[in-house]
Amino acid sequence: MNKTFRKLAMIIIAFTLLFVITSCKKNNKDTIRIASVGPLSGEVSIYGTSAKNGIELAIEEINAAGGIKVGDKQMKIEWLGMIDDEAIADKAATAFNTQYAKNIDLMLGAITSGATEGLVGQAIGKNVLVITPTGTADYITVGMDGDERDLRTNIFRACFNDSYQGEVAAKFINNNLKKTKVAILYNNEDSYSRGLYESFIAVAATNNIELVYQGAYQATTVDFNSQWAAVKASGAEVVFLPEYYEKVVNIVSQGRAADYTGMIVGADGWDGVLDVDGVNATDFNNCYFTNHFALDSDAEVVKDFVAAYNKKYAKDPTSFAALGYDAVYIYKKAVEVAQSVEFDEVLEVFNSADFYADVVTGRISFATNGNAIKPAVVMTFEGNEYKYYTTVE
């Protein structure tokens, strides 16, 4: 055997051993490793805490039932926790890399849209499935210009996206509230608020909506009296206010103090307004917001989830909790269909036109751009409680 042939033989043997070792490692894997990133401190910590609670409840239930069936094995979920990103993109990116280094199978996060984009920047090209439970910005799955799905093939969301939610709000105002004169107040420094504003105005005309006032404000704005004066002067019958819950309480309370008694419509960022310290629930009479699930739904899957969440945490779940919970069960269904935890095989299931999962927030499937296809509910307020109003698709 000459030296060249001997060297070639050694290379072949080395690669064969590597393949065998790798295959054995895959076949002998005992747990499915799930990690998350989200805001556990800061202004929107309620979102991270709620999503984390939902994720942990789902994992607890699945493991108690024996785990996820993969072939002839029952595999338990190993929960690696949620790292606090404070809803900051750079911190989410760093947190992703920390979790990714733990050989994870699934990343659940981030929770807010801006932080999710920071995380996705690190997740592109890596063989790990990423599902944001609650990141609604359109660009998360397709990029800022809508042309990066080929790079973001491993990115999905359990929630509906902003364009869909803006369209739902416009349809609701036209078809259900029977109103046409609409004012918009939006935060032009926030991607969530601005994205919903843009999607709403894009479909306003086709829904017989006349935009009588568009009021932009900054993230640091605390006095909204001038905006409300303009709203009243415009003759608006409805105000569309896409904003996060803490700011919503301040803006709505100032509007009511300014004697604006008309309807106010918001989006899923409103979920949690009744938990804000000092909130006056009567301010939210004649208010509505689009959301992912209705706490008071008669569906058995919802009632079971609410009961289990109440038992574990002694409080009602928000939509963020429901979406965190659903994201785990969506992944469970995909793994069971794939009969594998390997990235390529699970990804193939997610991209299948036939895949769906029946979860708390409704039946979900995925479009080719990674966005969820699912219904939206509209909630209203009754005293100190949220109440289901209608479903819009």
pLDDT, residue 277, reads: 92
Calpha distance 377→227 (Å, rounded):
28
pLDDT score for 43? 87
Q: Which two tokens stand for residue 277?
A: 């310290």
Which mean pLDDT values do the consecutive 10-residue runs of the chain (393 residues) have?
47 43 50 98 93 98 97 95 98 98 97 96 97 95 96 97 92 97 96 91 96 97 98 98 95 98 95 92 97 92 97 95 98 97 97 96 95 94 94 88
**Residue 174 DSSP SS3:** helix
pLDDT, one tens digit per residue, over 307-354 is 999 999 999 999 999 999 999 999 999 999 999 999 999 999 999 999
- DSSP SS3 for 148: coil
Compute φ and ψ for 20, nearest 5 degrees. Answer: -65, -45
Residue range 27-160+298-374 in CATH 3.40.50.2300? yes
Task: Report the candidate in 246, 98, 102 with the shortest Cα–Cα distance to residue 110.
Answer: 98
pLDDT given for residue 342 in this prediction: 96
Strands 362-366 and 372-373: antiparallel
* Sequence-separated (6 or more) residues with CB below 8 Å from residue 93: 118, 119, 121, 122
pLDDT of the residue at 66: 97
Distance, first Cα to last Cα, the chain: 72
pLDDT of residue 3: 47
pLDDT reported for residue 23:
42
Strands 181-187 and 238-240, bridge-based pairing: parallel
Domain with CATH 3.40.50.2300 in the chain: 27-160+298-374, 163-291
Q: Residue 1 corresponds to which tokens in the numbers above?
A: 């055997």
DSSP assignment letter at 155: E
Nearest to 362 by CA among 311, 288, 305, 309: 305
- pLDDT computed for residue 19 by the predictor: 42
For 210-225, the pLDDT digits (tens) are 999 999 999 999 999 9
Q: How many CB atoms lie within 10 A of CB 149?
A: 15
Cα 130 to Cα 108: distance, rounded to the nearest angstrom: 6
Cα angle 85, 88, 93; round to 5: 70
Between strands 263-266 and 238-240, the pairing is parallel
15's enclosing H/E stretch is: helix 3-27
pLDDT at 162: 87
Task: Return the pLDDT at 28.
Answer: 53
DSSP string, 176-202: IS---EEEEEEETT-HHHHHHHHHHHH
* Beta-carbon-side half-sphere exposure of residue 125 (alpha carbons within 13 Å): 3
Protein fold of 163-291: Rossmann fold (3.40.50)
